Amino acid sequence: MLDTSLGREKKKPSAVFRQTIVFTSVTMAIVFAMVIIIRIFYVQFTIRTYSDLYATELNIATGKKEKTNEPQDTLNLLYQLMQDSNVIRRSLVSNKIVILDGVLISDPYGLIKDKFKIPYLPYLYEYQGLYYLFIGVPIFDSSYLIIGNPSLEITALLKSFREVTTLILIFGFFLSLVVSYFLAKNTLKPVVKISDQISKIDIDNINQRIPEQNTKEFDIFANKLNSMLNRIQQAFELQNQFVSDVSHELRTPLTSINGYVKMLKRWGKNDPTVMEESLDSIESSSEYLSDLVEKLLLLTKTDYQIEKEEINLYSVIEDILDFFKLSLQEFSVQIKGKDFKVNTSKEYLSIILKVLIENAIKYSKDIKKIDIELNPLQKKLIIKDYGIGIEEEKLKNIFERFYKADSSRSQKGHGLGLSIAKKLADALDIKITVESEINKGTTFTLHFK
C-alpha cells in the first residue's frame, strides 16, 4: 500500500507563533510569581497590623503580679485575669478561642483538634471558608495568653484579593498574548524581510545583495549572507568559466581525431603515408586528452590525504631532473646552494617541481639554461629559466585554470599545470612567488615553513 503522505509537505510551526508562546509564558510566569509574592507579604503585613491592634485593644500586658516561686494554678490565674481585665471577660463572652499557657479555655467553634498546632504567632488559619486569626500576648511576666477568633475583615480582604488577582491574570493573559504576538512579529520582521530578499536571488540576478539592516545583530547576519552570496557567485562564475574552458580544450583534439578517422576511412586503407600521419595525430591527440583528464581530476580533488615526512630536497630535485633526462639534453642545468630537509609530501612536491621544470623547458628559446638554487637559511627553492618570460600585468593570472599568457603557449599546453602546482602548494603549506621579465626569463620561488 502506497504511503500517500510522502507527497505531502510537512507543516512546520510558525516562528512568530512560537515566539508569541514563549513571550506570553515568560510574562505570565513573572506576573504569577509577583502575585504570589505580593499575596504573601500582603497577608503577613495585614495580620501583623491586625494582631498589633487587637493586642493593644486587649491591653492586659500591663497587669503586674507579684513574683513568686510557687506555681500558679491555671484556673486561679484565669480567675485573677477575669477580675483584673474586663476585656478578657468580654472575649470569653464574645465566643473567642482562648488558650492560657497551653491549656484550652474556650473553643466555641470546635476548631482545636488533637493535631491542631499553632506554629507561630500571629497565625492565620483557614477553616470552612473563614480565616481565623490567633494572637498571643504575655501576661504577668510568666504566662502567655493566646486568643483566636474568625476575622471577617481579613476573610473579605483575602477573598477580594483572590478575585481581583484572578481577573488580573485572565485579562493579563489575553493582553500578554496580543502584545507578545506583535512583539514577536516585530522582532522577526527583519528575518522575514531578509528571507524574502534571498528568495528573489537566482541565477539571473545573482549579483543582488541584502541591504544594510537597522540593528547590529541583523546587520551582521546580512553581511554574513552577502559574503556567502559573493562566494556562491564567484564559484558560479568559475564553474561557467571552467566548463567553457574545458569545452574549448576538448573541442580541438576531438575535432582532430574525428577528422583523421574520416581521412583513414577514405584514403588510409590504400595510402600508408596518410595512415601513418593519421595514426600519429590520433595518438598525439589521445595523449593530450589523457593528460588533460588526469590533470582535471587532480585539480578537482578535495580529499587530500597528505602524509608528510622529512625528506632531502636535493634528492627530489635529482629525481625530477632524471625524469626529464631526454628533454634536458640540450639544456645546461646548474644546481647551487646546500641541501636541506623539509617536512612535506614527496609525491605532491614532485608534481609541483615537474610542472615548474616542464614550464622552464617549454618556454625557453635560444638560451637553453635552467638555474636551481637551494637556500637552507631562508628555506627557499628557486627555479629560474631564461625563456620568453611573462608580462607583468599577466603574472597575477598565471595560477588560474586554463590561463595562457600568450598565443605561443596555447600550442604547448592546456593551462592547468600552474593551477595544479598552486593548489598542491597550498595543501602543503608552501608559498609560491614568481618574477618574470619579457625575453629574459621567469623565476619561481618555493618558500617552505
Element (H, E) at 106: strand 103-106
Region of 413 (left: φ > 0; alpha: ψ -120 to 50; beta: rest) is beta
Query: Which regions of 279-379 does DSSP assign to beta strands (E)?
Result: 309-312, 332-337, 341-344, 369-375
Q: Which of 292, 278, 301 is nearest to 250 (CA)?
A: 292
Looking at the structure, tell me whether residues 257 and 165 fall in a common domain.
Answer: no
* Grid cell 504569577 in the structure block, residue: 32
Q: Which of 418, 439, 444 is nearest to 365 (CA)?
A: 439
C-alpha cell at 153: 475583615
| Chain centre to alpha carbon of residue 279 | 60
- Between CA 281 and CA 430 the distance in angstroms is 39
- Between CA 329 and CA 216 the distance in angstroms is 66
Sign of the torsion formed by the C-alpha atoms of 296, 297, 300 and 305: negative
443 in Cβ contact with 321 (< 8 Å)? no
Looking at the structure, tell me whether residues 131 and 267 fall in a common domain.
Answer: no
Looking at the structure, tell me whether residues 167 and 24 fall in a common domain.
Answer: yes
- Domain assignment present for residue 199? The answer is no
Q: Which of 434, 297, 273, 276 is nearest to 359 (CA)?
A: 434
Which of 152, 178, 204 terminates a domain? The answer is 178
- Between CA 82 and CA 71 the distance in angstroms is 19
Looking at the structure, tell me whether residues 166 and 296 fall in a common domain.
Answer: no
Which of 269, 300, 331 terminates a domain? The answer is 300
Looking at the structure, tell me whether residues 284 and 323 fall in a common domain.
Answer: no
CATH number of the domain to which 338 belongs: 3.30.565.10
Looking at the structure, tell me whether residues 55 and 134 fall in a common domain.
Answer: yes
Looking at the structure, tell me whether residues 253 and 384 fall in a common domain.
Answer: no
- Along the 449 residues of the chain, how does pLDDT read in single tens digits? 444 444 455 677 777 788 888 888 888 888 888 888 888 888 888 778 877 776 676 654 444 444 444 445 555 655 555 555 555 545 444 678 888 888 888 888 888 887 788 888 888 888 888 888 888 877 766 778 888 888 888 888 888 888 888 888 888 888 888 888 888 888 878 888 888 888 888 777 777 888 887 878 888 888 888 888 888 887 787 677 667 666 656 776 787 788 888 888 887 777 788 788 888 888 877 876 776 676 666 656 655 567 788 999 999 999 888 888 878 888 999 999 999 999 998 888 888 898 898 888 888 888 899 999 999 999 999 999 998 888 877 777 777 766 665 544 444 555 677 877 888 888 888 999 999 888 888 999 999 98
Tell me, what DSSP letter sits at residue 268?
I
CATH number of the domain to which 277 belongs: 1.10.287.130
Looking at the structure, tell me whether residues 366 and 267 fall in a common domain.
Answer: no
Looking at the structure, tell me whether residues 264 and 137 fall in a common domain.
Answer: no
Distance between start and end Cα atoms, the chain = 64
Looking at the structure, tell me whether residues 313 and 294 fall in a common domain.
Answer: no
Enclosing domain of residue 49: 15-178
How many Cβ atoms sit within 10 Å of the Cβ of residue 286? 13
- Between CA 138 and CA 63 the distance in angstroms is 10
Amino acid at 221: F
- Between CA 422 and CA 400 the distance in angstroms is 9
47 in Cβ contact with 154 (< 8 Å)? yes
